[in-house]
């Protein structure tokens, strides 16, 4: 998914950084510092697990979770990267979940886990503190639709990455 998002950002001409499991550990903090200091960097693509603990992205205020985890605390940790001391902006969290997919069940299970934790530790009526559930059907969105050429480039890129991943070493 990060590969597809990277291609899309390049097509749109947005500047970005990317940190995933293939990023050398010695380069990670430098990338984070650059993102926090350079306002022209539009996006930081970050895999949920590669980021690890202690990442501070207070210059970011929009989080888009595109790959819901069975462990809701991995997703909460991704959110918390922006909710650090020094954050001066309101932080927005968007979860991309496709209707009719396994992600719906994973998201439901994750919410139940968080509700159980709140109930056990004294939360009010099992509610998840600070979470305002807003579900929108993206098919009704009036946002910019992908044109056919952009969609073809994204799909071809995904197929190329897939065929490279499938080739024997």
Q: Residue 141: its pLDDT value, please?
A: 47
Q: What is the mean pLDDT of residues 7-18?
A: 93
Structural domains present in the chain: 1-96 (3.40.50.300), 102-123+142-158 (no CATH)
pTM score: 0.64
Q: Residue 163: its pLDDT value, please?
A: 58
Q: Give me the phi and psi of 95, to 5 degrees please.
A: -110, 125
72 burial level (CB within 10 Å; 0-12, 13-18, 19+): buried
Q: Residue 140: its pLDDT value, please?
A: 47
């Amino acid at each position: 998914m990060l590969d597809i998002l990277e291609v899309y950002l390049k097509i749109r001409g947005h500047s970005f950084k990317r940190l995933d499991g293939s990023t050398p550990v010695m380069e990670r903090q430098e990338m984070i510092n650059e993102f926090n200091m350079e306002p022209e960097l539009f996006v930081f693509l970050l895999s949920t697990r590669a980021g690890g603990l202690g990442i501070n992205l207070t210059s970011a205020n929009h989080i888009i979770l595109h790959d819901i985890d069975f462990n809701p605390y991995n997703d909460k940790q991704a959110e918390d990267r922006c909710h650090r001391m020094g954050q001066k902006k309101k932080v927005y969290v968007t979860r991309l979940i496709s209707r009719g997919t396994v992600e719906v069940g994973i998201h439901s299970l994750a919410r139940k886990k968080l509700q159980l934790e709140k109930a056990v530790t004294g939360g009010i009526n099992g509610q998840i503190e600070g979470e305002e559930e807003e579900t929108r059907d993206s098919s009704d969105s009036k946002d910019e639709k992908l044109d056919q050429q952009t969609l073809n480039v994204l799909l071809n890129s995904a197929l190329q990455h897939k065929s490279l991943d499938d080739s024997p070493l």
